[in-house]
Structure 1
């Protein structure tokens, strides 16, 4: 009997663990178009519009064919198409971005998506891309991509894209969440508000405190 209880507890813990590490929950209805009102059915962080009032506009977002301005400090611009732009994505567990890169040097800085794996498709240009595995290896996995090439960035891992070509580059990326989130490493560490105590960063990065103070005074550009 004790052995049976142990097996039962183990199975329940395994099921709980699998649910804990799941991505966006699967919908149990055709759609749940997000609205800003605070009354109605609350699903996955959003209230649902009455299905009878839903229209094609709730599932539509134009303009991802339009090149974006990349004349900024990092030389890239990310144009998202997630639940904030397309209310009909609510509960569907997927979103899209367009990324424009300036000629040689255009960078989508090291960042993570805490809630999504990313699949990147290069449309124009040549990109040097990569991600870093978790501790203890911290191994860098990189690849140079050309038009038509696809690369995957696993959920939560730090990754980047860098234009190594002489022309503009364009890529589209699908993400496995309606709201993948983004944490740009430099912005988060050195540009937080309020700032992280410099003593913490000095010890964490083994830098002189004057360097940390300098970095915290910089303007950290958000390309999203």
Structure 2
């Protein structure tokens, strides 16, 4: 009985070990919009992330970015400016799974409805008053969650969900956002839907948004790249 129990115990450990290995074996999260497979290495253009620098050549400057203290120009149609610090301009972020952004808002400016397909966002208000919110998925019946944030407040936008920020004050506002990806990606809803290149068939959008076709065409002209 003792020998049998010992064998059973060892088999149980082996099964648990294999289960843990299988549970931990998963594909890495995508770091770009798409990565089409190719068999011929001669035509390789890009990988999911960035190639790594020889460690012997790494310098402190590879982990350094300067200038997030500088206010940005918000004189544009939406009245906001996003300064993103990701792997493209801070190479030391490669493989570390984080990035950062400064967001400047003009009085009554907004960061329009958008999503980050590869990351949750945590927002910290450094100055001003923001009305923020996100919309849950169809599965959750598209519920809207909103909050008015003041200086020092923090709010989280779950990964992939449509969200926005609107400066409800008559003075400029500033916020900083942290992301759980070296390249969170951004899809601004209006730009993607009405400003795609080439344009989406207006009849498709007219039916989807329950609008007249001529209204859709006017919107497409406004958002044309």
Q: Please classify the TM superposition score into its range, dividing by the shorter chain length.
A: 0.7 to 0.9
Among candidates 196, 211, 214, match of residue 210 of structure 1: 214
What is the correspondence of 1:48-63 to structure 2 with a 5 Å cutoff?
48-63=52-67
Give the count of matched residue pairs.
194
Structure 1: segments with no counterpart, 5+ residues: 1-6, 26-37
Match in the other structure for 1:129: 132
Find the structure with the greater CA-based Rg.
2
RMSD: 2.4
Q: Secondary structure at the match of 1:19?
A: coil
Moved over 6 A (4+): none
Candidates 174, 179, 183, aligned match of 1:179: 183
**TM-score of the superposition, structure 2-length normalised?**
0.80
**78, 88, 102: which one pairs with 1:74?**
78
With the length of structure 1 as denominator, give the TM-score of the two structures. Answer: 0.81
Alignment map for 1:57-206 (pairs within 5 Å): 57-103=61-107, 105-136=108-139, 137-206=141-210
Secondary structure at 2:67's aligned position in 1?
coil
CA displacement 1:34-66 (0-9 Å, x = unmatched): xxxx9xxx9742111111111111101100000
Structure 2 alignment gaps of length 5 or more: 1-14, 32-41
Equivalent residues of 1:80, 1:97 under 8 A apart? yes
More helix by share: 2
Measure, in 2, the Cα distance between the counterparts of 1:128 and 1:98: 17
